[in-house]
Amino acid sequence: MNALPAHVDIREVGPRDGFQNEPETISTAAKIDLINRLARTGLRRIEVASFVRPDVIPQLSDGVEVLQGIDVPDDVSLMVLVPNSKGLDNALRIRETFSEVAIFVSASETHNKRNVNRTIAESMADNEIIAKRIVAEDLRCAAVIATSYGCPFEGTVPLRHTLDIAEQFAAAGAVEIGFGDTTGMANPAYVGEFFTAALERLPGVEVTAHFHNTRGQGLANAYAALQVGCTSFESSFGELGGCPVPAGSTGNIASEDLISMFHEMGVATGVDLDAVIDAARAAQTVLGRKLTSHSIIAGPIDWSPTADAPSCR
Amino acid sequence: MNALPAHVDIREVGPRDGFQNEPETISTAAKIDLINRLARTGLRRIEVASFVRPDVIPQLSDGVEVLQGIDVPDDVSLMVLVPNSKGLDNALRIRETFSEVAIFVSASETHNKRNVNRTIAESMADNEIIAKRIVAEDLRCAAVIATSYGCPFEGTVPLRHTLDIAEQFAAAGAVEIGFGDTTGMANPAYVGEFFTAALERLPGVEVTAHFHNTRGQGLANAYAALQVGCTSFESSFGELGGCPVPAGSTGNIASEDLISMFHEMGVATGVDLDAVIDAARAAQTVLGRKLTSHSIIAGPIDWSPTADAPSCR
């Protein structure tokens, strides 16, 4: 077995992917406060907004106010998601407030059609133009491929097909490709195979893992990706968001659970786990409901010898 | 990377380890019904009772009635847990109702003292006598070592020390040794190292993994053990029981989540996943509260192409 990577990068996606999926709209002030907290945990990558039609995703309609209102340290890189050229136009009006732009497509034809009402070819033709514009603006272009490990409509999605799309993105200027487990269909054996192939086929590109915890397998998938050399991960504080499908399921893996597992294995993240748990607890207070992350309850593991630890038989 | 094992054995521990941790006592009739259901899912190993003092664990005081009341297929092996010679005496009064006996100790001196008020040496002296009696009765002797991967009181527990205890158990007649993650301190990197060493030092002994999902890492640990050749696992339907420490935490990994992950990787369990989910839902009804397993909500992954699957962007 190979040694594990010594260090990984984690992108916090809760402010976009998490808040988007909340049934109640979160106030702009609360969003700003939570992002400011996250930006002081050592997390150096945060996805904070998306420029989508407000009638489609009203939860994120205050993206401009959020981006203009937050105050984050200089070494924190902020990402926005754009679905099309119009979204990029809108984002570029506040060009100075972020440094990374994510564009996306689904690996599954049916899922792409349902999601954005276009074929993959149509989406990619547009994405190539958008990617070039992003690069020309001296912004970092990251691409996301949804349903990378399986599709709820089509079932199996061929690995080779997903990586073909990834190569198209890379050729158009994306320096990072994220592979999303949109409805939680990935398993660790396939993830090991997938990331081995992805890292081989995409030299010079940052290959990012984005898993969901739909059936409790999210961290097992993260471990499998790590084992074969993946060092870039996305997760969401409080286990917010992702794709709550089937209804009531959890989506994204929790940042604090992922960070806890990495730290326990001696894999550095640069993140203060306690601070992320505090931020997740603050989100819990804002949302007024119990979040499903495990570490939010259990806290970090305490390895110091102590006479009065809680235990049980 | 080595190929994964083609088949694993799973012991369902919910009826003992799960029911023991419920704040409200479950009726004997409900226990019998749930065990009878579990025994018809393809699970061929079930821990059903423990012979402990009823004033200490009142939740399991009806062990005799449960064992005499259940009706399970002949190929299902039932296990009871005994803490000491007196417990074994009581169990042997209904000798014909089970076929496996579990005995235990903690790898941590402090945890053992808190749990059974004896030193490890005192516990092992007694365990050696009990193990020989179990073998003499033509019953299968399985030993469990609690706090195998870390102790809430002592912190680190040396691997070598834990395996020394395991060898003592094996010498006394235990044909299976389970390594318990009592308070959820294991991580997948250590688990890989641990089971590699355990399988090497315990030839001819069945080496069993028992993980908790305290910080969401339970299935990652199971995957790590599987990767290095472990083929025996314990889990609990509905994610019941285990050690809810810190308070409110989850304990045991959920049988249905574990089975889902194994099946998705092509690792056979012999178990009908849908039937286990049904049993977990029945337990949810009996207990009158939402259980924390993921598959109880999400159900098994559906890989068949379908036009009307749930999805999300």
CATH number of B196's domain? 3.20.20.70
Whether A303 maps to a domain, the answer reads: no
| pLDDT band at A166; cut points 50, 70, 90 | very high
Check: CB of residue A287 under 8 Å from CB of residue A22: yes
Could you tell me how many residues make up chain B? 313
Whether B304 maps to a domain, the answer reads: no
- The reported pLDDT for the residue numbered A25 is 84
Whether B303 maps to a domain, the answer reads: no
Whether B310 maps to a domain, the answer reads: no
Query: How confident is the model over A177-213, as pLDDT tens digits?
Result: 999 999 999 999 999 999 999 999 999 999 999 999 9
Interface contact B4-A307, CB threshold 8 A: no
A147: left (phi over 0), alpha (psi -120 to 50) or beta: left
Q: One of B151, B230, B243, B312 is an active-site residue; which one?
A: B243
Q: How far apart are the C-alpha atoms of B63 and B59, rounded to whole Å?
A: 9
Check: CB of residue B246 under 8 Å from CB of residue A310: yes
ipTM over 0.90: yes
Q: Which of A146, A253, A299 sits opposite B246 (nearest CB)?
A: A299
Residue A312 falls in the annotated catalytic set = no
State mean pLDDT over B29-51. Answer: 98
Check: CB of residue B18 under 8 Å from CB of residue B243: no
Cβ-proximal residues to A225 (8 Å cutoff; 6+ apart), any chain:
A191, A192, A195, A209, A211, A233
Nearest to A296 by CA among B7, B262, B141, B249: B249
What's the total number of domains in chain A? 1
Average pLDDT, chain B: 95
User: From residue B28, how far is each of B65, B68, B73, B129 by CA, in Å?
Assistant: 7, 11, 20, 32
Check: CB of residue A97 under 8 Å from CB of residue A68: yes
- The reported pLDDT for the residue numbered B213 is 96
Whether A168 maps to a domain, the answer reads: yes
Interface contact B223-A222, CB threshold 8 A: no
Whether B253 maps to a domain, the answer reads: yes
Q: Percentage of residues in chain A with pLDDT exceeding 90?
A: 90
Pull the structure tokens for residue B169. 């158990």
- The reported pLDDT for the residue numbered B312 is 65
Interface contact A216-B294, CB threshold 8 A: yes
Q: Which of A294, A306, A310 sits opposite B213 (nearest CB)?
A: A294
Q: Count of CB contacts below 8 A, A vs B?
A: 198
Whether B92 maps to a domain, the answer reads: yes
The 8-class DSSP code of residue B55 comes to: T
A2: pLDDT strictly greater than 70: no
CB-based burial label for A175 (10 Å; 0-12, 13-18, 19+) = middle
B99: pLDDT strictly greater than 70: yes
Nearest to B188 by CA among B211, B161, B157: B211
A259: pLDDT strictly greater than 90: yes
The domain containing residue B173 runs over which residues? 9-298
Could you tell me how many residues make up chain A? 313
Query: How confident is the model over A74-105, as pLDDT tens digits?
Result: 999 999 999 999 999 999 999 999 999 999 99
Residues of chain A found within 8 Å of residue B115, distances taken between Cβ atoms: 311, 313
Check: CB of residue B59 under 8 Å from CB of residue B20: yes
Nearest to B280 by CA among B89, B6, B2, B14: B14
Q: How many C-beta atoms lie closer than 10 Å to residue A2's C-beta?
A: 8
Q: Percentage of residues in chain B with pLDDT exceeding 70?
A: 98
Interface contact B261-A190, CB threshold 8 A: no
